Amino acid sequence: MICGMVLLVSEGVHGQSPQQFEVAVIRPNLAGTSTGTSFNVFPGGRIRITNEPVKLLIRAAFQIQNAQVVGGPAWLDTDRYDIEAKTGRPEKLEPDQMGPLLQNLLSDRFGLQFHREMRELTIHALVVEKNQKNGGKLKTKAEGEDAAMNTHTGPGKSQLVGTAVSMEALAGYVGNRLGQIVVDKTGLSESYDFTLEWAPDENPDSPVPSLVTALREQLGLRLQSQKSPVEVLVIDSLQKPSEN
């Protein structure tokens, strides 16, 4: 059992965006999904990822969705990790800085090798319901709030608590849950707070709606489908993280 791993790398050139974490600690999480998952960014160049599979790291590193990740070992979706990492810099990481950091982490510690292809896939556009204006069921974030999405799963119900979440991020989350590609076409440029509850399994007798229905009823959003060529990331090699 891997108890913990520490990644030590040098800091990037002064004045440029960091390309590698100064320290990253990776631990297996054996609790299962019932304890919830999270991906949080904090001041001081810190991130904390809780109970997430490696596929989430790939999605975040390359800004893609689950349906765009092709191949890889079976544990890509099942093995879960807790990761705490920091850049060694005082400033909070911006969304566009996260990609290079996670890409290097995946390459250095998980041995990720890949190539890209174009494939014809079904995509879904996330749009505002016709009877909703300006995201009427969404609450605009409060000043100073940090962006976070925390998922909790219990018997017959999943819950997403979003804080200062953009519609682009929500579209990606929904796409990953559905196993499809969802793109933001809402036209909403703000970030929002919301709580979304749905039945994780398609059960017509469930008192909780499906995810698609919950989006419409609880957030005033819906999905439109179409076919489109999409770039996918094909995994050629991936390994479980080794001890230092």
Put simply, whether the predicted model's pTM sits higher than 0.85 gets the answer: no
According to DSSP, the β-strands at 5-8 and 23-29 are antiparallel
Q: What pLDDT sits at residue 155?
A: 80
**Model confidence at 19: pLDDT above 70:** yes
Q: How confident is the model at residue 207 (pLDDT cuts 50, 70, 90)?
A: confident
For range 53-74, the mean pLDDT: 94
d(CA 158, CA 155): 8
**Model confidence at 99: pLDDT above 90:** yes
* Helical spans, DSSP H, in the chain: 54-62, 75-78, 95-110, 167-178, 211-214
pLDDT digits over 166-203, tens only? 999 999 999 988 988 999 999 999 999 999 999 987 76
Q: How confident is the model at residue 3 (pLDDT cuts 50, 70, 90)?
A: very low
d(CA 115, CA 215): 34
Q: Kindly state the tokens that stand for 69.
A: 């990740």
Q: What pLDDT sits at residue 121?
A: 87
**Model confidence at 136: pLDDT above 70:** no
Residue with the two structure tokens 């929500």: 170
Q: Kindly state the tokens that stand for 244.
A: 């230092």
Q: How confident is the model at residue 73 (pLDDT cuts 50, 70, 90)?
A: very high
